[in-house]
Each structure stands twice: as structure tokens, then as C-alpha cells.
């Protein structure tokens, strides 16, 4: 059965080996119910065929040969430019970068750029020496002065030329995530100039080197908050517990293990931020005594003595300045609102996000979530959605009720 399309993404594929990664981008977006059109430059066809993208997108892929056909009812570049909600160019080559920076239009891809008004996401990829050329960086920086252009910077690693260095195109998962953000915001950068501090994941409180008290938190919600803030233009720092999640290089990541480590980092970083979001699942108690060597099983206590862990968010609330906004999270079962309201007032928070962890496809480890945003004057339900989408809903609400309300 054909999916019900709700959004339209146009993808321009440049001539580079990284074009193979765009196949996964197209496949993933199609499975998410997004309608896809693909333009290939002549060079791109040396790496991936139009048939491949036509098969993955369930629609013919366009080349420069189509550009000059007379049977198009309207000019093809005009039709495609008006059709797109979001325009991705990946891999962006040095050649296309130069053309876009100068406003040139000598093929279907560059003509469609000039005929469109939607946000454009750029994912460059090239050899390290090419990427670091003064002329290439000048053209790249020129592009970034245009508010239409959003960018995913290159990463470092082993390149197809066997060079190890900067120039790798971002991975498909990161590109898809950015497209999802743009489909929500349509390119608005309403957090530019804001510094946002986010905690994520669970903490571990050790009994000995191999045993600890912990929780199932994976940090997915906190990372989604960090990524959504980044895509909206903020400067973001993520303080996170032990996790296998990949943090984009544009986000300052500070790993911690214990609640005390998180406490020290959060208090140290606090003065530099406008918005602080404590989405981490911090331990409430820890073993009273730590053993530096592994305890044999027979030596484990039948009754484990516990000690309280410092209340990080209350301490942050007591130190924050009037212009700073502090938002907490409350993972609950059953009634999620009543305990969240109590936490909001008792800990002097500006807002709290209450989310259920006892519902299917929600809470710890899930890719989706649902929640109730609560502040002193509002209760706003956020229905079940992906965690990235929920993060954007949270920032929509925070922007309206906290950041710009005053």
C-alpha cells in the first residue's frame, strides 16, 4: 500500500563517492511517509544510477537530459523548485559549492536552487586538501551567510582517497534528523544567540567496580533536545551519562558517570547558559559504602545501606539568575501531572515536562515519547510522537511561554 505523503523533500545528488550514502537517506525518508524527488548531476551518475534513486523513491529521478526536454508542461526547474518543502544537496562538491556561492545556474540542480524558496540543507563531502583550500572555504562561508542555507559540517575519518582527515560527509542518520527538524521548523532559527545546557541519560552509583545502582535511561530524549536546539541555531552543551548515542560534533558533549560528577559539571556550567533542561534520570540514592575491589558474591550484603544523592535540580534552582530558565523532567507512572506539579513548585522550576514510562512506545529506551508540559500558568499536552519531534514541540512551547513571554 502506498504511504500517505505529508511532506515533500527534493534531493540534489552531487558527484562524489558519498553519493551512496544518499541512497539510505532516500529509503529512510520514504519509509517515514515523505515524498521524494531526486536530481542527479552528470557527475553523480558516475557513482549511483538514476534507476537506483527511482527505485528507492518510487518516482523517476531527474538528470540534465530531462532539463532540456520539450514535453514538460512547465519548466522542470520551476516545477521542482515550487514543489519542494525542503531541499537537500548531498554530497555537496567543491564545484557545486562554487556555483551556488556565485549564483550560477548551468544545470538542472543549480537552476532549481535559484527557482526555489524553501530551506536548503547542505552536506559537503570532499578530500581533506580540497575542503581546506582557501577558495573552497571562502565559497562555503559565503553560502552560510544566506539564511536559506543550513549545513551539516564534514567529519574526520578515512576518506575514499585513503587520506585520514576532515571531509567525510555526515552519516545518513544525522542528515535525516536534520531534515526532520527542517520539516518542523521550515528553517526558522529562533534560538540563535541562546546558550542551552541539557543533561541526559542515567547516572550510575557504584557499590564496587562492577556493580552499581542505575536506571534504564538511554539519553535519547536529552540528545533529541540537544539536536533540535542545535538545528534551531542555539549553542548547545550536553552533559550525559554512559551512552552509545552519537553526539553531533557541533554540540559540546561532557560525559559523566555518577550523580556527583553531573552535579559538579552542571553547577560549573550554569552561569553561562540562558536555558537549562534537566532531562537526565539522576539517581536518588547510592550505596553508602564503596568498595574499591570487587566483592565476592558471598560478601554481598543482604541489606544494602544507602545514602541520599544531592538534589541537583534544586541546587541549580537556588543558584540560577532571574534571566535564566530552568526546566525539569518527571518520569512517572500512573498519574503524571500531580507529582510533576508538586516537583515544579517544591523545587522552584520555571517549567517541567512530565512523561509516562508505563505506556507502550514511550519513555526509557523508546524512539517515541509523550508528555505534559507544565508551568505555573499552563498545562499543554504533547501527544505521542518521535522524541525529536517532541523536543521541537517543547522548544515551541518554551519559546512562546518562557523565553519570549517576558
Structure confidence by residue, pLDDT tens digits, 196-220: 999 999 999 999 999 999 988 899 9
What three-state secondary structure class fits 98? helix
Pair 176, 209 in one domain = no
Question: Averaged in consecutive runs of 10 residues, what is the pLDDT profile of the chain (406 residues)?
Answer: 69 96 97 96 97 97 86 84 97 97 96 97 92 95 95 77 76 95 95 96 93 91 96 97 88 96 97 96 92 91 91 96 94 90 94 88 82 93 94 95 72
Q: What is the CATH number of the domain that holds 160?
A: 3.40.50.1950
Round to whole Å and give the CA distance between 152 and 383. 29
**Residues contributing to the annotated binding site for CTP:** 284, 294, 310-313, 329, 343, 347
**Residues contributing to the annotated binding site:** 284, 294, 310-313, 329, 343, 347
Contacts of 56 (CB under 8 A, 6+ apart): 23, 26, 27, 30, 36
Round to whole Å and give the CA distance between 348 and 353. 14
Residue 7: enclosing H or E segment and its boundaries?
strand 7-13
What confidence tens digit (pLDDT) does each residue in 340-383 have?
999 999 999 999 999 988 887 777 878 899 999 999 999 999 99
Pair 298, 349 in one domain = yes
Average pLDDT of the chain, as a whole number: 92
Per DSSP, the chain holds a count of helices (H) and strands (E) of 14, 19
Whether residue 1 is contained in a domain is answered as no
Round to whole Å and give the CA distance between 363 and 370. 8
pLDDT at 405: 60
Contact 195, 273 (CB under 8 A): yes
Round to whole Å and give the CA distance between 286 and 282. 11
From 151, 185, 219, the end of a domain falls on: 185
Pair 180, 200 in one domain = no
pLDDT at 402: 85
Pair 218, 178 in one domain = no
Q: How far is CA 138 from CA 97, 135, 190, in A?
A: 10, 5, 26
Give the active site residues. 161
Place of cell 548531476: 41
Whether residue 2 is contained in a domain is answered as no
**Enclosing domain of residue 54:** 7-185
Whether residue 190 is contained in a domain is answered as no
Round to whole Å and give the CA distance between 324 and 309. 25
Round to whole Å and give the CA distance between 280 and 284. 12
Closest-CA residue to 36 (of 106, 104, 73, 84): 84
From 142, 167, 185, the end of a domain falls on: 185
Q: What is the CATH number of the domain that holds 268?
A: 3.40.50.10300
Pair 232, 164 in one domain = no
What three-state secondary structure class fits 49? coil
Round to whole Å and give the CA distance between 152 and 146. 15
Round to whole Å and give the CA distance between 99 and 3. 36
Pair 102, 126 in one domain = yes
Could you give the number of structural domains in the chain? 2
Round to whole Å and give the CA distance between 125 and 170. 8
Amino acid at each position: 500500500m502506498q504511504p500517505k505523503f505529508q511532506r515533500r523533500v527534493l534531493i540534489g545528488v552531487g558527484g562524489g563517492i558519498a553519493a551512496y550514502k544518499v541512497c539510505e537517506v532516500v529509503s529512510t525518508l520514504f519509509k517515514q511517509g515523505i515524498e521524494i524527488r531526486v536530481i542527479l548531476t552528470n557527475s553523480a551518475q558516475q557513482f549511483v544510477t538514476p534507476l537506483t534513486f527511482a527505485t528507492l523513491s518510487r518516482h523517476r529521478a531527474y538528470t540534465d537530459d530531462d532539463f532540456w526536454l520539450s514535453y514538460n508542461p512547465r519548466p522542470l526547474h520551476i516545477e521542482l523548485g515550487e514543489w519542494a518543502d525542503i531541499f537537500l544537496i548531498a554530497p555537496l562538491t567543491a564545484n557545486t559549492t562554487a556555483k551556488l556561492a556565485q549564483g550560477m545556474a548551468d544545470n538542472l540542480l543549480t537552476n532549481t536552487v535559484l527557482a526555489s524558496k524553501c530551506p536548503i540543507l547542505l552536506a559537503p563531502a570532499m578530500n581533506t586538501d580540497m575542503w581546506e583550500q582557501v577558495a573552497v572555504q571562502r565559497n562555503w562561508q559565503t553560502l552560510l551567510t544566506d539564511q536559506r542555507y543550513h549545513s551539516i559540517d564534514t567529519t574526520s575519518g578515512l576518506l575514499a582517497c585513503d587520506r585520514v582527515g576532515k571531509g567525510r560527509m555526515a552519516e545518513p542518520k544525522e542528515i535525516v534528523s536534520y531534515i526532520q527538524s527542517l520539516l518542523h521548523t521550515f528553517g526558522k532559527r529562533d534560538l540563535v544567540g541562546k546558550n542551552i545546557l541539557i543533561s541526559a541519560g542515567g547516572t550510575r552509583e557504584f557499590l564496587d567496580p562492577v556493580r552499581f545502582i542505575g536506571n534504564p535511561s538511554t539519553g535519547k530524549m536529552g540528545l533529541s533536545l540537544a539536536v533540535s536546539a542545535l538545528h534551531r541555531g542555539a549553542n548547545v552543551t550536553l552533559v550525559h551519562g554512559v551512552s552509545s548515542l552519537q553526539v553531533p560534533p557541533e554540540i559540546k558533549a561532557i560525559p559523566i558517570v555518577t550523580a556527583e560528577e553531573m552535579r559538579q559539571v552542571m553547577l560549573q556550567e550554569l552561569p553561562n547558559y540562558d536555558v537549562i533542561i534537566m532531562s537526565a534520570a539522576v539517581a536518588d540514592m547510592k550505596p553508602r559504602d564503596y568498595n574499591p575491589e570487587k566483592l565476592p558474591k558471598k560478601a554481598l550484603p543482604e541489606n544494602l545501606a544507602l545514602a541520599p544523592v544531592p538534589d541537583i535540580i534544586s541546587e541549580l534552582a537556588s543558584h540560577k539568575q532571574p534571566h535564566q530558565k530552568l526546566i525539569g523532567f518527571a518520569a512517572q507512572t500512573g498519574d503524571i501531572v500531580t507529582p510533576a506539579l508538586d516537583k515544579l513548585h517544591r523545587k522552584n522550576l520555571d517549567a517541567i515536562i512530565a512523561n509516562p514510562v508505563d505506556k507502550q512506545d514511550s519513555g526509557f529506551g523508546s524512539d517515541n515519547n509523550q508528555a505534559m508540559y507544565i508551568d505555573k500558568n499552563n498545562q499543554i499536552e504533547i501527544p505521542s510522537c518521535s522524541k525529536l519531534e517532541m523536543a521541537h514541540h517543547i522548544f515551541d512551547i518554551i519559546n512562546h511561554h518562557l523565553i519570549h513571554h517576558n
